[in-house]
Amino acid sequence: MEKFRILSMILGGNQYFKKKLNETAYCNKCDKLINNRMSEHAYNHMEQTHLFLCPICDIGAQSRETVQKHIKEFHPSAPEKAVDNRLKHAQEIKDTIKECYPEYFVDNPIPTTAEIDKMLASIKGGSDLRKFVAGLEDLPETKLEDESTDSKMDQDSSGDEENEHDDDIEDEEMREESEIGNHNEDGTGIELEEEAEED
């Protein structure tokens, strides 16, 4: 589930932070000293934005834990997974993080729905998780080819030129996956958050 953790960090805005080691930061919006979970603190300043939703009744909150408690209490027979609505509010998350922590802010690109869908497709069971990421419902599901399909294609190809083209595509896809998961080669922008879900 490491890829799912990375996906959650990307949706949460962690790529907009300079790497920090045991540092505390002041929030420029409220002057509070923040020791960890800087993204989650920034979410508190997005009061009218529901970053996580109940899959049953669409009640929302800025915190996954709050929505999961709601699901347990009001929909005990439903699965205990909140719908992640952060992709729909990606620009607002980025802007809020920039306002809260300008000295730690890194202006990385906002993840696209296609990037998120591709990452979900690379996670075992990702198609099941797709329904818990809002914003992907209008996109056709991305399917990654498995090794048996790749080897069949290699056997069917008639020339080295096609094989070289396939290798180039694989190299490009690997680079894209690396960019999606990190956004910076040196690790800048990744702040680990604890996941509320246990898979």
> For all residues of the chain together, what is the average pLDDT?
71
For range 55-84, the mean pLDDT: 89
pLDDT at 155: 38
Tallying the residues shown for the chain, one arrives at 199
pLDDT at residue 71 tops 60? yes
pLDDT at 152: 35
pLDDT at 18: 85
The highest-confidence range among 2-11, 28-37, 116-125, 137-146, by mean pLDDT, is 28-37
Q: Which residue, chain included where needed, has tokens 């998120």?
A: 116
Q: Which residue, chain included where needed, has tokens 């989650």?
A: 40
Burial of 53 per CB tally in 10 Å (0-12, 13-18, 19+)? buried
From start to end of 25-138, where are the E strands? Answer: 25-26, 33-34, 52-53, 60-61, 83-84
Q: What is the pLDDT of residues 95-113, one digit of tens each?
A: 999 999 999 999 999 988 8
Residue 110 half-sphere exposure toward CB, CA atoms < 13 A: 14
Residue 174 half-sphere exposure toward CB, CA atoms < 13 A: 6
pLDDT at 21: 55
Sign of CA dihedral 15, 37, 64, 196: positive
Q: What angle do CA 53, 79, 144 make, to 5 degrees?
A: 85
pLDDT at 22: 67
pLDDT at 97: 95
How sure is the predictor about 115, in pLDDT bands with cuts at 50, 70 and 90?
A: confident
Q: What is the DSSP letter of 136?
A: -
Q: Which residue, chain included where needed, has tokens 């080669």?
A: 185
- For residue 190, what are its two tokens? 């990744």
pLDDT at 133: 78
Q: What is the pLDDT of residues 123-159, one digit of tens each?
A: 776 666 666 777 666 544 444 444 333 333 333 333 4
pLDDT-above-70 percentage for the chain: 59
- Is the whole-model pTM more than 0.85? no
Cβ neighbours of residue 180 closer than 8 Å, sequence gap 6 or more: 10, 111, 115, 118, 119
pLDDT at 137: 61
Mean pLDDT lowest among 39-43, 68-72, 77-81, 124-128 = 124-128
Reduced to 3 states, what is the DSSP secondary structure of residue 3?
helix
